[in-house]
Amino acid sequence: MRRGLASCVLLGYLASGWAAGAGEQGAPQSAGSGLSILDRSRSMVHDFTEGVARHVDGWFGDKPFEQGGSVSGRIGFKFLTRQHESPDASFRFGAKLDMPNVKEQTYLFFGQENERELVIDQPEPFTRRELLLAEDRKQDQTFFAGVGYALRDNIDFRAGLRSGIKPYAQARYKKGWALGERNHFDFRETLFWNRKDGVGSTTALSFGHGFTRSLAFRWQLAGTISDETDGLAWSNSMGIFKSLGDQRIVSLEALIGGATAGSDNVSETGIRAVWKQPVYRDWTLVEVSLGHFWPQGDAKDENRRGWALGVGFEILF
């Protein structure tokens, strides 16, 4: 039984996304003269975010922020390059604010993210960042802010604004099932709306099997359909994840993606190896990704075939 439970814990850790990772970190200690620049910088970001939360929360009542208030988030940088393409760098920032004077189920959020991936709620493994694809920071990146309401543990509603006062809304449902001691299945459905795409939906499925306490298999599938997609835009990955202790994770995955419309359903295949571990305490993480990708079908181009490398840093606060 202990072995099975440990496998489920590993699978749950590997399946955790942006919000979960940010929420697990406690508030940093107050900066002092003996702390490093990184400690002080993290403390400043946390204190600034908490200051925003306290100020906004004060609009709704007089209940002290200490009675249930909290903030969490993360800052991420990633440097990447693909063979035959120019090197690129991307930045991510996101924060979640829980405030005691607002209803318990309501929270605020803000940050910077890839605009389309934010709206459609793209699963993290299939984002351009994780697929080692360059972005146009002026066109692809956006600042966002909004309000969320958790109706139940597995139902979530969000409404927000992106750069240029562009509104969007989401209704999300997620559910997980333990299938015995070694297997776990997760389902997530997001209905979204924005002016460009109209109404659309993103479905994400994930199945994990724990071989041992530290070794697991994971299969992930995501599909999005809207007025802006050619049929169903889909992504698929299968891989092995190995925990080496002390939050060190190494993985090897096979990737395939495409769209159902057009003469060819598959647009690209690839492999991706990732090493992730803390580099300073448990809240500063480094991730090194190495991949090789093969364009397929109408997108097939020998000049786009090749290796890709990414180095990412994350600070949780």
What pTM, to 2 d.p., does this model score?
Answer: 0.80
pLDDT score recorded for residue 281: 85
In 3D, which of 237, 268, 234, 229 has the Cα closest to residue 254? 237
pLDDT score recorded for residue 135: 81
In 3D, which of 198, 116, 213 has the Cα closest to residue 163? 116
Q: How many CB atoms lie within 10 A of CB 221?
A: 16
pLDDT score recorded for residue 153: 83
Please give the domain boundaries of the chain with CATH numbers for all domains: 2-316 (2.40.160.40)
pLDDT score recorded for residue 33: 42
In 3D, which of 24, 141, 10, 137 has the Cα closest to residue 72? 24
Reduced to 3 states (helix: H, G, I; strand: E, B; else coil), residue 7 is: helix
Amino acid in the structure at residue 243: S
pLDDT score recorded for residue 242: 97
- Beta partners for residue 81, in sequence order: 309
Cα distances (angstroms) measured from residue 248 to each of 14, 236, 294 = 11, 24, 29
pLDDT score recorded for residue 15: 39
How far apart CA 281 and CA 1 sit, in angstroms, is: 31
Reduced to 3 states (helix: H, G, I; strand: E, B; else coil), residue 24 is: coil
**CA quadruple 252, 111, 189, 198: dihedral, nearest 10:** -120
Written in H, E and C, the secondary structure of 126-187 is HCCCCCCCCCCHHHHEEEEEEEEEEEECCEEEEEEEECCCEEEEEEEEEEEEEECCCEEEEE
Block means of pLDDT (10 residues each) for the chain, length 317 residues? 40 39 42 66 92 89 88 93 87 91 85 93 94 80 92 91 90 96 97 91 98 96 87 95 94 95 82 95 94 80 80 94
Cα distances (angstroms) measured from residue 155 to each of 30, 86, 160, 281, 315 = 35, 41, 17, 34, 28
Amino acid in the structure at residue 91: F
Please classify residue 74 by burial: count the beta carbons closer than 10 Å to its beta carbon, then call 0-12 exposed, 13-18 middle and 19+ buried. Answer: buried
